[in-house]
Amino acid sequence: MTKVTSRTGSCLCGSVRITVNNSSNKVGACHCGMCRRWGSGPFMEIDCGTEVSFEGEDDITVYDSSSWAERGFCRKCGSHLFYRLKETKQHMVSVGLFDDQEDFVFETQVFIDRKPPFYSFSNKTNDLTEAEIFEMYSPK
């Protein structure tokens, strides 16, 4: 069962603080080309739903990365903050931002067929391919 809890955190410089009211403890990694280009590795995230608030919003820059999603980062220090679905406002928040990470469990890797061969996680995870992800989220 997924643990749901409130969480707080901040970017590297502290200009942006985040409060999440309904967060999972399940960590996911995305290996798509866009995530890897954004951070030189997989995007490690927690699904935080829509109950997300920010202090220091003036220091958040949002990049319109696709027709369905956008990415936020701190304009001062460059910390990756979130990947957000435009339609639902669901936030996948960068796992490294959170103050308390004790209860996190690495559960899922997506776009596993796009992962380059030079790294690999030893954790047993639920792995989904690009086709499986698009099938899950494509309009029916």
Binned at pLDDT 50, 70 and 90, residue 1 comes out as very low
Binned at pLDDT 50, 70 and 90, residue 4 comes out as low
Q: Which domain holds residue 12?
A: 5-129
Q: With 0-12 CB in 10 A as exposed, 13-18 as middle and 19+ as buried, what is 104?
A: middle
- Please determine, for residue 41, whether its predicted confidence score (pLDDT) is greater than 60: yes
- Residue 140 within any structural domain of the chain: no
- Residue 138 within any structural domain of the chain: no
- Residue 137 within any structural domain of the chain: no
Residue 2's pLDDT is: 59
Torsion of CA 9, 86, 89, 84, to 10 degrees: -20
Please give the model's pTM, rounded to 2 decimal places: 0.91
- Residue 51 within any structural domain of the chain: yes
CATH of the domain at 28: 2.170.150.70
* pLDDT average, residue stretch 29-52: 96
- Residue 17 within any structural domain of the chain: yes
Total structural domains in the chain? 1
- Please determine, for residue 20, whether its predicted confidence score (pLDDT) is greater than 50: yes
- Residue 134 within any structural domain of the chain: no
- Residue 121 within any structural domain of the chain: yes
- Residue 34 within any structural domain of the chain: yes
Top pLDDT among 140 and 50 is at 50
Residue 5's pLDDT is: 78
